[in-house]
């Protein structure tokens, strides 16, 4: 299912990031008619795939704001074993990796066409559910 969602997301590129929020529990990125929210751990990689910062670093709620105004221009699955999480590639060359840390809806993605997807782990296996289909 993650491959299917990746194909759908790629059809929407570029996704302009207009708003970003991290309150210590929930990371939200959103733009015109799309949004992504997660309660999972995450980190930001730089150009050379070096870790720039992660969700529990000091002052990270200010640093993640650098995504505002940028574009998501790529997406892939994060990890080789548990393939339920996305990694988003930004126009700056940075990447946002998500790591499911909860088994119940660790992330939710709403696409511009109205479809809503939720990632999850059921019985230790990655699953992604279509929560709402396009109208």
Q: How many residues does the chain have?
A: 135
**CA separation for the pair 6, 22 (Å, rounded):** 24
Nearest to 37 by CA among 94, 133, 130, 119: 119
Confidence of residue 116 (pLDDT cuts 50, 70, 90): confident
pTM: 0.86
Burial 78-101 (b: 16+ CB within 10 A, else e): beeeeebbbbbbbeeebbbbbbbe
Please state the rounded mean pLDDT for residues 89-106. Answer: 83
Q: For the ranges 20-34, 53-67, 85-99, 110-124, which has the lowest average pLDDT?
A: 110-124
Nearest to 64 by CA among 26, 108, 105: 26
Please name the residues in contact with 5: beta carbons below 8 A apart, sequence gap of 6 or more.
Answer: 86, 109, 117, 128
Please name the residues in contact with 97: beta carbons below 8 A apart, sequence gap of 6 or more.
Answer: 42, 43, 44, 45, 78, 85, 87
Please state the rounded mean pLDDT for residues 44-63. Answer: 91
112 within 8 A of 12, measured Cβ to Cβ:
yes
């Amino acid at each position: 299912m993650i491959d299917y969602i990746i194909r759908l997301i790629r059809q929407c590129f570029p996704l302009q990031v207009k708003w970003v929020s991290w309150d210590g529990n929930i990371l939200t990125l959103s733009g015109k008619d799309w949004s992504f929210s997660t309660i999972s751990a995450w980190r930001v990689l730089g150009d050379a795939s070096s870790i720039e910062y992660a969700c529990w670093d000091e002052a990270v709620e200010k640093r993640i704001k650098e995504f505002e105004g940028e574009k998501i221009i790529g997406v892939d699955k994060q990890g080789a074993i548990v393939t339920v999480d996305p990694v988003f590639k930004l126009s700056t060359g940075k990447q946002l990796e998500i790591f499911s840390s909860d088994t119940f809806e660790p992330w939710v993605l709403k696409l511009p066409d109205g479809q809503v997807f939720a990632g999850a782990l059921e019985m230790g296996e990655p699953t992604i559910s279509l929560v709402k289909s396009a109208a």
